Amino acid sequence: MTKKLLLLIFIIICNVSFTQTQEMRGTWLTNVDSNVLFSDKLITEAMNYLSSIGINTVYVCVWNKGYTLYPSKVMNDHFGIPIWQSFSGRDPLEKVIIEAHKNGIEVIAWFEYGLSSWYAQNQNDSGHIIKKYPHWALLNREGKLATKDGAFPQFIWLSGINPEVQDFLISLFTEVVDKYDIDGVQADDRLPAMPVEGGYDSVSVAIYKSENNGQLPPYDFQNSQWKRWRANKLNQFFKRLYDSVKVRGDYLIFSSTPSVYPWGYENYLQDSKTWVDSGYCDTFMPQLYRYDFSSYLYELNQSLSYVPLNKRKTFFPAVLMKIGNWLINEDYLMNVLNVNRQKGLKGESFFFYEGLRANNNKLGDTLKSTFYSNEAFLPYRSGNIWRPKGILVDDTSLTTKKTGKWSYYPAGGYSGGISMTNDTSYASIEYYVDIPYDANYHLYVYLVQSYINSTQARYIVYSQNDSTIIYVDQTKSQNAGWYKLGDFYLNKGNKKILKLDNYGLPSGRYINSDAVLLLLNRKLSPDLIITKVDNQSRTKIIDNHKNEISVYPNPFNSKTRVEFYSDKICKGELKLFDFIGREVFSQNNIEIKNGLNAIEINIDHLKLASGIYIGSLKFNERTMTFKVSLLK
């Protein structure tokens, strides 16, 4: 690297350190050309390293080649395959979330394969999804699987126009959001998208005919009207997908990383300009994957030309760092970061993680010593801290109190050792923690499994003037590592939160204790605001209860009431959605009065199944969401 470039970088860093503290700094975690997701130990090491170099967001693959990388009920119900076989018995997504949140890093679930269900080696290799649901396949005008050039290996596509396919993809997205305390989701260059050659499957053709006076689609797949009709269908699907996620929590980041426009539209009907203009995504991250800086700069300028000025805050370029044997060089990397900041962009994300670690962490360490030398807060979090670092207390901490005879074994624990006892007299270990905020927390203990341990180790959790007893089998290998005791509301202050004792310990058995971890539960505490200046917390002020909403009874059988406050007279709209985002109930033009309001939901006339439904109440330019449980 030249001295002139080093001087320029130093000047930029000085400026950034004082004026730019709000940046998105991301990277992708894949299961291809990387081992990181295949080992809990590697996940822990990766998150620790990424935090040390200033990365504040990770995009972790959860959908690849028609398989999920987390245990999925949706996939198990459809195909009897809950997770990619290589990850059977594990949940890499959960491990990434724990270790990332422990380091204050946000986690976005990345649905990499999108509407592509398989990567085929030959024309007869359609994959397990299409084998079961052949009418889901995207076909070309010859009635064959639609691909870009006919050569194999090749991506196999599902029809994004088919309502069943749309519902299936939405159910995967909402499953992740409902199951995990995730920070957001991401659609890729294959969602929504489909090769321009496709759209001739029977379901898509039937829909087209119903909307075009019985006419068949044009034989010419490049016909402009035919392209626009298919792209519009994908746009409508994308909007429904976006709504299905956001109705579960406005804090959830909906991210899109499409192919560059207009190339993506011309080849894959990916109308990303409409998504940006219409606000269908919170972060727009076009794949500016080029092998030299001049090509990157050209694509950056082209992409920015399609983004209105009032939408620039959502724009974060995706930068190619490594693919196969190719690795970006330092000069190219520094030029990219420099031009991104010259254009006022608030960060970028790198494809992919292994590029940061190549050559003994050379590029990652370069970021740390240059552009990422100062801490950055995510701009779309208003510069506040959404994911504070976890609270980790070890069994050797000065605030931990031990009673009875305990032995310390300097191996096997989270940080290198564990405390063990088989004392026949009473023995306990108590964990005291300085709780920073009144909030809900995930509480984990680190377990080292052994056949000599107790099958009923007794933990007592102290929360909000109450206590909960939990028994844990310390002999089971599946309980090893971070074991979740539950979710608890804890008040601010220094206090005892956990005790492990030898109550009922059989003769000859041991109990062991190691680290305790508290992570802020954002699903249950979305209104907690942690400021970036002093890391202090404040809750959202409720002015005349305007942010309160209650539903009673909940669960309900046929009728329930939604109560809320309004500070003015206006019109309102209330809707219910099922778990895949389909609207099942609506009331429009509701008369909203100044003060306390109550709206009755009566579903007597609807044939709805028992389950969880998401409610959306809109009035006075505000949207309030809630969950309600229907039991029949």
pLDDT at 122: 86
Closest CA to 198 of 143, 152, 245, 151: 143
Can you tell me whether residue 52 is helix, strand or coil? helix
pTM: 0.84
Give me the residue label for tokens 């039937």.
206
Contact 94, 37 (CB under 8 A): no
Measured in residues, the chain has a length of 632
pLDDT at 4: 45
pLDDT digits (tens, 9 = 90+) for 473-525: 999 999 999 999 999 999 999 999 999 999 999 999 999 999 999 999 999 99
Q: Which CATH class is domain 391-520?
A: mainly beta
Please tell me the distance from the alpha carbon of residue 247 to that of residue 251, in angstroms, as a whole number: 10
- For 295-417, strand residue ranges (E) read 318-320, 322-323, 326-327, 347-351, 391-393, 400-403, 407-409
pLDDT digits (tens, 9 = 90+) for 444-470: 999 999 999 999 999 999 998 789 999
Candidate from 16-20, 256-260, 346-350 with smallest mean pLDDT: 16-20
pLDDT at 272: 97
Tokens of 39: 């080992």
In the chain, domain spans: 391-520, 549-630
DSSP string, 491-527: -SEEEEEEEEE-TTPPTT-BEEE--EEEEE-TTT-TT
pLDDT digits (tens, 9 = 90+) for 518-545: 999 999 999 999 986 545 444 333 333 4
Any residues with CB less than 8 A from the CB of 320 and at least 6 apart, and which? 287, 288, 289, 290, 291, 328, 350, 351
pLDDT at 629: 79
- The proportion of the chain whose per-residue pLDDT surpasses 90, expressed as a percent, equals 76
Any residues with CB less than 8 A from the CB of 425 and at least 6 apart, and which? 404, 405
User: Band of the pLDDT at 580, cuts 50, 70, 90?
Assistant: low
Whether pLDDT at 368 is above 70: yes
pLDDT digits (tens, 9 = 90+) for 302-327: 999 999 999 999 999 999 999 999 99
Whether pLDDT at 558 is above 50: yes
Phi–psi pair at 263, nearest 5 degrees: -55, -40
pLDDT digits (tens, 9 = 90+) for 173-205: 999 999 999 999 999 999 999 999 999 999 999
End-to-end CA distance of the chain: 69
pLDDT digits (tens, 9 = 90+) for 439-451: 999 999 999 999 9
CATH value of 549-630 in 3.30.360.10, 3.40.50.300, 3.40.50.720, 2.60.40.2550: 2.60.40.2550
Any residues with CB less than 8 A from the CB of 598 and at least 6 apart, and which? 561, 562, 563
pLDDT at 21: 73
Contact 490, 464 (CB under 8 A): yes
Average pLDDT over residues 281-296: 98
Please tell me the distance from the alpha carbon of residue 495 to that of residue 475, in angstroms, as a whole number: 30
DSSP string, 186-253: EE-TTTT---TT---SHHHHHHHHHHTTTPPPPS-TT-HHHHHHHHHHHHHHHHHHHHHHHTT-TTSE
Tokens of 202: 């029977």
Arithmetic mean of pLDDT over the chain: 91
Tokens of 307: 């983004």
Can you tell me whether residue 305 is helix, strand or coil? helix
